[in-house]
Each structure stands twice: as structure tokens, then as C-alpha cells.
Structure 1
């Protein structure tokens, strides 16, 4: 709570009256002075109490006097009437209006000491209230440290107490905890800043509207992790105390948290490996023993791909997505480093996966049709083969096997490669002799009508014998017969590539 001029005005024992300005300005102290220039003795935020003994009722020095006070950060003036001045001089009020200072009339019966005491008592009460609130925050952090996993509970509680986003990263840069949910989007920027900063034991940087503070977690020259706190407003004195307590609590367990995360990932990889090798009973027993929940069948399995440098980011995002946690999705890296997710075949879950892939730049994925747990070993090789050969056009998408087929074969070939192959394949039909009888159009029309000569000759508006002559000529130039289905398929793909 901030002590304001309005709280002084609301005290009937003081009898103060606001003559100009605002009542909601903050007052950090009150100082008595009748000097012409009291500013050397004033702190910013101090209410100046004066009787105006040094200046006359119509003195031209009032504007200069008010200007000095404004530059010194004085929020207002308490003017005592009845001694030197029967009322507040108008030049003072006019100058205060121009500079945005508040002016309060202090009646003669009210000693300045009463105003100062009121400010001091209010500030002391605020300090006691803030200390009490801080102690409750400290106790809240200690209680959070008792809720497993403690590092996540502490980070969540700290974010709520500070109304800020908070990230906890291991020394290696792995995300150990983040709150609220949107905080994870800042992890990459924090990693970048940590790598740039030689000493991040107490560093800071600006990110958008937020000021981000980096604090080391752990003891010694090589801390176990880094705590990042981002918010628009600077931290107050008591809030910094809350942060210090959080850092001390996190220092006790952040190294263990990083080790726990690695252990959990290895355990999930083990369970996934059992499922993919068709050892469902063993996988179920291992999951029960390790406390790893498995999704209810029928299930789908998805393979996600991304740049090698961003694989850990993708894994962390999947591990910390609430929608996947609720349905007990199994998130793990299989033996060759691919990121896999086994999730229940329920409505909405593929939407969660789509959202994750769209958020992770350069990612793509393939997801299977619903199967029981025993069917994962059969669909896995097919899904992996598709995921390992996804074309660039699939980036940002989660594809089913049908979607992959719809993408088309040419999507797996670069345009330059497809154009070169199409040119070489169709070149015999584009020689000078071939162009004279338009063999290119003839062959394309023939293929478009599935080899039906009557339909093709009608479409070309030529006699069937003329069509037969042209096709025979084309076969001679190509060195192959149209009865060969491979030739027909290759020619049609070449025409399609040219159209693309």
C-alpha cells in the first residue's frame, strides 16, 4: 500500500484542504522548511510543509520556487496559513497548476509536526503490513517446496506472487519448470542471453515490455541452473526478498531436478522401447513400477521431426503440455533420437498435437490410425519411414498416412530435379519432326483418356488411323511401347511436373 496525499486529507483531526492538484499522489515523507530553496534537503516524493516566510504575497519568485520543487520531485506543498500569509498566495497556486503540483492548505491550529507524525505513522503501518505480507509469501514458498516436484511448485508459486513469468533452466539449458504456461515461449531467448552473458549471477535484459532478471541457482563457481523472471514493473524491496527465498529453496534441489528429469526421460524411453518391440505386458508392468501412466487404448502413435538443435525444445514442449498430461500421453525419445508420442484416440488430441507442431518452427509429424497397444509394433516402422522422408511442404503439419499420400510423390522431389527429369523424359517428343505432327499433345491426350483411341482421336479431332500413326511414331522416338504401364506412368508424371 502507498501512502497518498488523500489519506492525509481524509484525517479530520488535521483539517487539511486541497486547493489544487490531485489527492492520489504518493507521499514518501514530509519535510518542514521556509528556505527560499529547500531542494538540497528534500528527497523525491517528500511533501514540503512551509509558511512562506521567505517570500511575499505577490512575490515574482513564486514561479521559480515552484519550478525548483517540481524538478526535485516534490509531489505537493502543504502551506500553513495564519502566520505570514492569511491565505495561500495566488502566484503560488497558479505556478503549481502549471507544474502539476498539489497544494494543500494547513490551518493555523494544525502543527506541522502533526502532519509529519501522520505521514510517519502511515509509512510505519504500511511497512509492518508489507513485512507481514512478505512473511506470508515466504511461508507460501516453503509450503510449495514440500509439494513434489518441489522445483515446479516453487516456480508456480513465485510466478503467482510476483505476477510475472518465471523459468527455471538447468546449467545445460534444459527447461526444468515454467509458469504460467505461456512462459515457455521465452525459454529460447533466455538460453541465448545466458550463452551471451559471461556472468549471469545477476544479469538482466529487456524483452518486449518486460524486464527479465537472470539469477544463478546453486552454489559455487558453476551454478546448477538459472532462474529467469520477467515482468513489466521493477521488483520492490520486499519482492526481491521473496525472490531471494525462492532462489535459496531452489538451490537445494535444482541439481537433483535436472537429474530427475534425465531419469524420467530414460524411463519413458525404456517403456516406449518395450511397446515398439511388442512386449506390451512387460511395458505395462514397467510403467506401473515406475509410476508412468499409459494412455487408454485405442491409441495413436505420432513421430515428430525438427532440427536437431531444437529437439530438446520440442521434447520439453510436449512434456509440459497440459492437454497431453491430462490424457496420460507417453512422450519419449526412441532409441535413434526420434520424438514419439503415444496418445489416446480421443476427439481433440490430434488438435493439441497440431498446435504444438505449429508453435515449434521447422517441425512436422506423422500420426498413425487408432490401434491397441499391441498394434504399435506393427505400425511403427511404417510411421517412421514416412516421417523420415517428409517433404519440406509438410513443415508445420501433423499428417496421417492418408495425408502423406495426398501430398503426392512430386512433393518429395525438388522443383529443379523434377523439371530436369521431365525435360529429359519428354525431350524425344519435342524434336523438330515431333513438333510438326504435335506428338506432345497427341501423347498427353491419349494418356488423359486412359489409352482409349476412339475418345482420344475424337478429342484431337483426327482420324483413328492418324492417331495410330502418331502413337507409333512416338513409340519409335521413345524406344518403348505404350503397352508398358511404367512408360505411361512416367510420361504422365513428367507432364504433371511440367504443369507444376
Structure 2
């Protein structure tokens, strides 16, 4: 970090000149980029900003107007401050010079004894170069550390933990809906760190990619991939973040971006390497249906002229859980125990996909019920969530069937009912929106639609969001809606009018209400405990 004028004044070489702050005392914490010795009255045109000017004043004018112009030019050029040595030109600092520096908020330091300017500049420049070298070394260390984490396939939590370790302060990674995805408290109690997180996060807004913002002066940087922002990395230091700390935060954000990109690549590589029958079916990597039929027959499974049922199993707890082989073996044993034949493989997010061939579509419910019952015996404490797509007949429909089953399984996590398995009619619109809760496009839609109302509630400690939710649920009957909200009809109508004003929306419009209802469902999906 660059030295401040205040720090430079404390240096022994400066103290030998008996320094006195004659003006701008409140601004001596400005940083100094360079020290420049000059006796020119028009030096300002050669400055780039951040310089501390040293002068004996021998070339300065006598008149108040000219001194004012000199100081104004320095301030306009971005000079950090002015040091003038008394004796050669002035025995006391001119009053007009002090007034001009005070007016321009430019620190003026007077040296009452001679100082070797060459020693002063050498001392300051040595410190500046040392700080720059330290910053460069820190940058290289951060680069090496986060690059190593990316190469090793470190998790988001690992990256956040390393960032917090390097800056010595809590670091939090959140998605676009202000949901905390990972955090490292750095010694701070977690309940205090994450207290009223969404409200505090919304108060820390900035249009810049990286900024220190909000009432708590958080250091915030956007995390994006392929031009799309998918979260924010936030540092909560006890002091205002330094440039070096924000640099580390940005390096960590880059590592999070690589984590996201490389995770997708690893998944694609694994699918390609396995070259299993089911993977090739889902990806459509086969030359003809007869090729797939022959490959399936070679492992004892007949796919020809059969009804094919795509099933996805999620959340299967098993000894050694976390390894792909363990989960696949657990499902394989369940298939064997129930006498069900099928192709299986790992799908996205650790789910297991199973393709079950049956003679008739009517056999699907009983078959999947047997499988689900057996899987629950393997995981009685935390039953897996199972989604089943509608039976299909053609191999070209396998990809779509597994897409449907994955959506059903993801949405079923939010379902209040504990069922052995779920199908598309079970999940409805709320479940479908839940499926895409982690999609930045849905998060952006929710923020765009509801953020004015959420921010109004946060600022004024109101609960208009609940009023809107009740209105949308009882829209056909405002009297019932007011009763459900425990408000008088007049108070309820007044709140609706306020909501319309805040959102600039007509609650009498069916399309507007549909959009708002979908956005509310998306906002509420972030609170589900399984997410």
C-alpha cells in the first residue's frame, strides 16, 4: 500500500526539518504515488496525480492571486500535497498560501529547518518501491495459489476459504438472489456474519465490477462466466479494504469462474470417456438403432420393441457416499434385488439415471414402486428423491425423457408430500420454477421483477411482499385475501396501491399477476432447506 503524507511526515529525515502541518490537516492520509522536487511555478502541467511536491519556494510569486493560482493548479492536477522549506524564500509561510491550500483542501507541510531533499526523496521512493514490490509479490502469490486450486479442482468452499485466509477477513460467496453459497467466517461468529444477510447485501450495491460499497463498506466483486454474472464475492474487513485486498478478491473471483467452467468440462470429459450405452443414448452418439440394440443385448438387456422408462434417483445416502462408484453399485444392487433390468449411469449433480425396458407402459408404476421401496431400505434415514418420466418407445426420445425425469426430481425436493416417486403432474408450476432456481436467468428475472419491493420492505421494515403473495393467492376474492392477511379491506387496498406504485405495475392485469406470481415462487425457492 502506498505511503500517506501522514506516514511520510513521521520519517526521521522529515522530522529533522521540524515539520508543521500549516493547512489541510484533515487530508494528510492521502496516499503519495511519487515525490517530486520542483522550483517551477508552473509544475502542475507536468503532474499525473498523486505527487507530493517539495520546494523551497524561491520561484513562487509574492501576490496572493498568483499563489492562489499556483495552489489551484496543483489541486486540479491531483497533487497529494505540498512541502515547503522555509529559509531561502520565506521565513514564515505566507498567509495567502495557507488560505489557498485550506480552500483547495491541499495539505501544506512547512519545514522549519533545512532538509536534504535528495535524502527525503530517496527515503520515500524506497518505501514506495518496497510497497510496490510487496504488492507484486502478493499478486504473484495470489495468482499461484488460486491457479493451483483451479488445477486441483478445488471446490467453491476451498476457494472462498483461501481468499479469507489471504485477506484475514470473512469472505462470502452469494448468488444473484443473495443466497449464501459458501462462506469462511475467519474467526467471526457465523450467526453474526450472516445475520439479516439478504437485507445487508441489498444495501451494498455498485454498478462497478469491483467496489467498496454499502454502509458496512463491504468489498464486492462480481463473479461471471461467458459474460453472464452468476454471483458476487464479498469481503467484510474490519477496515476499508486496501487495493491489495480487493486484488485478492478479484483473483478469487476468477478462480470461481474457472471452477464453474472446468466443472462443466470435467462432466463432459467423463461422459465421453465412459462411452457407456446409456450415455451414448442420451447424447445421441450412435450410428443406428441396431447398433444400440446389439450393444444392449451384449449385456443382457433387450431394448427392441419395448416401453422405455427413464428414472432419476437423487439424494441416495450410502456408506462412502460421494464416490460415483458407490452410488452406482447401490442402485445396481437394488435393481438386482427387485429383479429389474436396466441401464444406469451418473448424470448431472450426482444423480443416478436408470433406463428400464418394460413390455407395457402399465408396468411402470409397480416396477418403480418396487425399486423405490428397495432404495429406501438402503437409506432409511434420508429417503432418496425419485423422478419418473412418461414411458417412451423410440431411442431418439431417451434424451428428452431423462431431461423430464431430472426436472421432476429437482422440483420434487420442494414437494411437501413424501412420495415413493414423482411424475410430471405432481410438481406443477412451483416445482418447475424450483428446478431452475440456480439458473442466473431466473434469478435475474426475479431480481428485475421484485427488487424494488424487496428493497422497500428492507428499508422501511414493511411486509408488502407478503401482502402481494396473499393477493395473488386469493386474487379472485379480495375480501378473503384481506382476511388472510389479517387486514381491514381499506388497509389491504391501500397496501395494494402502494405495491402498484413501487413496482409500476397494474395488479388488475392477468399477465402482470402471472409474472409476479412466478417471480415470487422463484424468490421463495431460495429458502428451501434442501437447496
TM-score by length of 1: 0.46
Larger Rg: 1
Q: Identify the structure with bigger relative contact order (alpha carbons < 8 Å, sequence gap 6+).
A: 2
